[in-house]
Copies of this chain bind each other. A is one copy, B any other.
């Protein structure tokens, strides 16, 4: 019974398909043919929070394999690494952000917030025509 509750709690963390009542902007930045979007930035922030790629993946309801592939892509997108092995942690096998990784996530969030504001303001007059499902 206790186990069932745990499973439920974890399941609730899985992102649901977004059917927001409001128009929901998504910022994707293509860099050398690869896409930097909210999924990769969410993963970066989850790694920062949890201290490991597998824990971050679990937190986001994705497989370890998928989390690892995203992390690997992130490290190949730039000349500087985004994620590095944790050193000196209590447990082995952890991961942490580089200074560049932290700056990247912060810069993306600032650009995302400006994008959200731009969509809200520019599309405001059309808003009554948007279908809510």
As for how many copies of this chain the complex holds, the number is 2
Q: Is the CB–CB distance between B79 and A128 below 8 Å? A: yes
Main secondary structure of the interface of A (DSSP, over half): mixed
For window 11-27 of A, CB contacts with B under 8 Å fall at 17-20, 23-27
Evaluate contact between B111 and A119: CB separation under 8 angstroms.
yes
CA distance A76 to B131 in the complex (A): 8
Q: In the complex, which of the residues B28, B110, B133 contacts A25, with contact meaning CB atoms closer than 8 Å?
A: B28
Interchain nearest-CB distance for A38 vs B (Å): 10
Any chain B CB within 8 A of the CB of A103?
Answer: yes
Q: How far is the CB of A24 from chain B (nearest CB, A)?
A: 4
9-residue interface stretch from A29-37, A45-53, A56-64: A29-37
Whether A69 is near chain B, meaning CB under 8 Å from some CB there, is: no
- The distance in angstroms between the C-alpha atoms of A125 and B106, with both chains bound, is 12
Instruction: Please indicate the chain B residues that have their CB under 8 angstroms from the CB of A17 in the complex.
Output: 33
